[in-house]
Amino acid sequence: MALVAIVYKKSPGSAVELAKLLFFIIIPVFIIGPIAGVYVDRWDRKRVMIISDILRGLLVLLIPFFILRFNNFLPVYILVFLIFSITRFFLPSKMAIIPDVVPRHMLLIANTLSDTTRMITAFVALGIAGLIVDKIGAINSLYINSASYFLSALFISNMVAKDIIIGFKDDILKAKEALKDAIRKSVWTQIMEGIHFISEHKDMKFVVRVFFLLMAGLGAISCVIIVFIQEAFGSATKDLSLLTMLLGLGCFVGAVIYGRFGQHIKKDRMILLSLFLTGVFIIIFALSARFTPHFLTSGIVMFLIGIAVGPVIVSLNTMVHESIPQETRGRTFSSLEVVIHLAFLIFMFAAAFFAEKVGKIWVLAFCGIFFSLWGVAGLLKKRGT
C-alpha cells in the first residue's frame, strides 16, 4: 500500500507506472527463482525463512532514506528488486516445509490453514495498512512494514519441523565447498529436473495450465483494477485497501468452507466452477463501480469474488503437494513460479497499455468473460468425457 501510494503521488491514474513497479517485484522470479529452488532443497528451510525475513526488514528500512534524499526513483526500484529476490528463497521454503510440519493426511487442512492465514492478513492487515498509509503517509508506513518482517522471523524461529537438510551442514567450509559444487554441477540440471517433472506428470500439467491462465488473467487485472478503483472512488489507498480487505475476507470464507466441506469434491471440477463464478463477479464489479460507484455495492461484489477464488488457491496448492516428492519440492515450486509469473508479467504490461487506449472497464470486462468462458468450457468438457 505504501508503494502504491508513492506511485499514485508520482503519476496519478497511470496503470503503466504501476506496472513498472510490479515489474521489479516480479522479475526476480525469472532471475533468482529457479536457482533459489535448487538451494532450498539443500538448505535448512526454516533457517532460510528466518534469514530472508531479517534481510528484507533491513532493506525496507532503506526505502524511505532514498525517497527522502533523492528525487530519482531508480534506487527504490533496485531495493524492491532485492527485497523480492530474497522473497524467491522465502516462498518455496514456506511451501516446501508444510509437509514436514504435518502428516500427509492433514495436507488439505494444513494448506487451508496456511492459505487462510494469508487471507486473514489480506482482509485485516491490508485493510488497516491502507488506512494507515492514508493517515500517516507512505514513508512512516514503511517503518511499520520493516518491523513486521522482524516479527515474522521471531515467530518462525519457534516453528518445529522435521530435520531434512539434504546437502548443507553448519560448518562454513563444508557449506562453501557444497555451494561451489552445486553451482558447477547441479543447479542447471536440477532446474531442468523440476521443469521435466512438471511436463511429465498428468496432475502437474493440469496445475500448470490452470496457474498459467489464472495468472494471465490476474496480471491483466492487477494494475488496471487498482487505478480503476482509485479513479472511481477518488482516493489513493483508503478505498482500495477496504475493497482488498473484503476480497481477502471472501477468500478466507471460501477457503474455509471448501476446506471443511469440500474434501469429497474433485479438485479440478471445483477449480473450474470457481473460475466461472469469479469471471461473473468481476464483470458485475466493473460495471457497478463504473456506472454506480457505491462502496457498499462494490464491497459486496468484491467479497463474492473472494469466495469464488478461495477454493482455487487451496485446491491448486494441495494438488502440487500430492504430486511431488519432498526432495524436489523446492525446485518444482520455483519452476512453477517461473511459468505462472511469466504469464502475469506479459499480460500485466499488455493490459496496462491496452487500458490507456480503450479504457480500464473494457479490460476488466474482457478478463471476466475470459474466466467465465474458461470455467464453462472446462466443465462441459469434463461432463462430456
Residues 276-329: tens digit of each pLDDT: 999 999 999 999 999 988 999 999 999 999 999 989 888 887 777 777 666 666
Residue 371 has pLDDT above 70, yes or no: yes
The predicted structure's pLDDT at residue 213: 85
**Which fold, 2-163+170-384?**
Growth Hormone; Chain: A; (1.20.1250)
pLDDT band at residue 170 under the 50/70/90 scheme:
very low
Measured CA distances, 44 to 94, 100, 155, 168, 327 (Å) = 11, 12, 16, 8, 13
- Cα of first residue to Cα of last residue in the chain, in angstroms, is 46
359 in helix, strand or coil?
coil
Sort residue 120 into left (φ over 0), alpha (ψ -120 to 50) or beta. alpha
Give the range among 2-11, 112-121, 243-252, 356-365 with minimum mean pLDDT. Answer: 112-121
Handedness of CA 110, 111, 116, 121 (dihedral sign): positive
- Are 326 and 317 in contact by the 8 Å Cβ rule? The answer is no
Mean pLDDT of 195-200: 65
- What are the tens digits of pLDDT across the range 328-337? 666 666 667 6
The predicted structure's pLDDT at residue 169: 43
What is the total residue count of the chain?
A: 385
- What are the tens digits of pLDDT across the range 229-239? 988 998 888 89
CA–CA gap between residue 49 and residue 32 (Å, rounded): 16
The predicted structure's pLDDT at residue 147: 95
The predicted structure's pLDDT at residue 10: 83
- What are the tens digits of pLDDT across the range 61-73? 999 988 888 777 8
Residue located via cell numbers 504490461: 349
Domain residue ranges of the chain, discontinuous segments joined by +: 2-163+170-384
Residue 191 has pLDDT above 90, yes or no: no
pLDDT band at residue 171 under the 50/70/90 scheme:
very low
Query: In this structure, how many other beta carbons lie within 10 angstroms of the beta carbon of residue 337?
Result: 24
pLDDT band at residue 385 under the 50/70/90 scheme:
low
325 in helix, strand or coil?
coil
H or E element that contains 264: none
- Are 343 and 2 in contact by the 8 Å Cβ rule? The answer is no
Mean pLDDT of 245-253: 86
The predicted structure's pLDDT at residue 110: 82
C-alpha cell at 287: 460495471
The predicted structure's pLDDT at residue 186: 46
The predicted structure's pLDDT at residue 172: 46
Query: In this structure, how many other beta carbons lie within 10 angstroms of the beta carbon of residue 366?
Result: 18
The predicted structure's pLDDT at residue 183: 47
- Are 40 and 100 in contact by the 8 Å Cβ rule? The answer is no
Residue 361 has pLDDT above 80, yes or no: yes
Mean pLDDT of 217-230: 90
The predicted structure's pLDDT at residue 163: 56
Residue 173 has pLDDT above 70, yes or no: no
CA–CA gap between residue 321 and residue 326 (Å, rounded): 8
Largest CA distance in the chain: 65
pLDDT band at residue 34 under the 50/70/90 scheme:
low
Residue located via cell numbers 527485497: 83
C-alpha cell at 49: 525463512
Q: Buried b / exposed e across 184-220, counting CB within 10 Å, b at 16+?
A: eebbeebbebbbebbeebeebebbbebbbbbbbbbbb
Give the range among 178-187, 220-229, 257-266 with minimum mean pLDDT. Answer: 178-187
Q: pTM of the prediction? A: 0.71
- Are 93 and 330 in contact by the 8 Å Cβ rule? The answer is yes
Q: Kindly report the average pLDDT of the chain as a whole number.
A: 82
Measured CA distances, 329 to 28, 45, 92, 159, 190 (Å) = 19, 11, 8, 19, 11
